[in-house]
Amino acid sequence: MYHVLTVSGSLRAGSANTGLVRMAGRLAPPELVIHIYRDIAALPYYNADLDQDDVLPEPVQRWRDAVTGADALLLAAPEYNYGPTAVMKNALDWASRPLGAHSIQGKVVTVVGSGGGGGGRRVQAQFNEIIGLLGNAMVTEPEIALVKGSTFVSADGTTTDPEVEALMAARLANLLAALAARAAR
């Protein structure tokens, strides 16, 4: 069994990105236990002055503990103005500190998304680069970058397009294969 922490970078109630996270939970093979993290909005903006044991905010400790306890991360990242949402980037900033001993290090990570006319491809490329630099294995295939995904993916994780479910199932199978390969080393 592998534990996969999923998080949506959208705070919107009707978000297709939240739908992708829920879809992953529904379609995951039995070897993947999906945990949905719902509290990234509670994280304060990253501030190195707060990143000390004696003043570390409790929401940050909860987030870091959740990331540490996971074998893999599945991030559903919307794209705003060609970049990540502030809450998603902030969550990544907290998870990537302290440098060299951070909670995200050594994880298998996959980024999917839905966003506007580009489907979130730019933000996925940015996150794949950033997260890869932090010492992680990235699973990027098949691409899940849904153009105007909210027209066919509901926040509850259902879709009117069976191809989206097939893509998610294939991505989850690739995530499982990457986790198994890492464990075999």
pLDDT digits (tens, 9 = 90+) for 87-145: 999 999 999 998 888 899 999 999 999 987 888 899 999 998 888 888 899 999 999 99
Q: What pLDDT is recorded for position 129?
A: 87
Class of domain 2-184: alpha beta
Instruction: Calculate ∠ Cα 32-71-48, nearest 5°.
Output: 140
Q: What is the pLDDT of residue 157?
A: 96
C-alpha 105/C-alpha 107 separation (Å) is 6
Report the percent of the chain where pLDDT is more than 90. 81
Q: What residue spans define the domains of the chain?
A: 2-184
pLDDT at 133: 83
Q: How many whole angstroms separate alpha carbon 67 and alpha carbon 73?
A: 8
Mean pLDDT of the chain: 94
